[in-house]
Structure formats: structure tokens, C-alpha cells
Amino acid sequence: MSTNSKRLLSAFNGQKEYFHPDIDGKGGFGIETIYECEPILERAKMLSELEPGKDFRHAAIIPPHVWDQACREGWQNDKARWKRWANDPDNKAFRTWPGTL
């Protein structure tokens, strides 16, 4: 995406969206979304230091871009897919409980 002509569409709650006009030279456009994940990671770390409850355990924080992806791809209600996401070592920083789901 060309950075010289991008325009800020919105900036809210650690998220920025940019409009990129004519990205393909044929009049097409793109929307770029950038999430600030550091506050999410800090919150996950803080929650991981709390004592888990007996009946209910908070397991992970779902970043907005992952939720957006789940909705786009149609797996937002798929428990097995969420377990796979949460147990993936690449997503360990978002976990608030060390156990396997």
C-alpha cells in the first residue's frame, strides 16, 4: 500500500484506520487497520497473575483483530476453533491462564 496518499479515517481506543486511494493504479482502494496490542498484552499479563476461580477461569483476551478475522471467516461461534487459537503457542501472550483448553 502506498503511504504517501493514505488518509486517516478514524483513531479510537488503540485502533487506527487508514484509507488508501488507488492502490492498484486502476481506481481500487484499501482500508488499513492498525491495532495497538501493548495494552492488551499488559492486561493479559495482569489477569494471569490473579488466582483463578474454582468454577470459572478466564483463559485469554481476544484481540479485536482476531475477533474481526473470526467473523470474516465464519468461526466466531466455533468452540473447537477458539480452543485451537487459544492453545496455539503463537498466542501465548494473550493467555490469562496457563492450562490447556
Q: What is the mean pLDDT of each run of 10 residues along the chain (101 residues)?
A: 72 84 82 85 89 80 90 95 94 89 83
Torsion over CA: 3, 19, 94, 50 (sign): positive
Hey, where are the domains in the chain?
A: 1-36, 37-101
**Alpha-carbon distances of 89 from 9, 11, 33, 47, 86, rounded to whole Å:** 34, 30, 24, 18, 8
pTM: 0.67
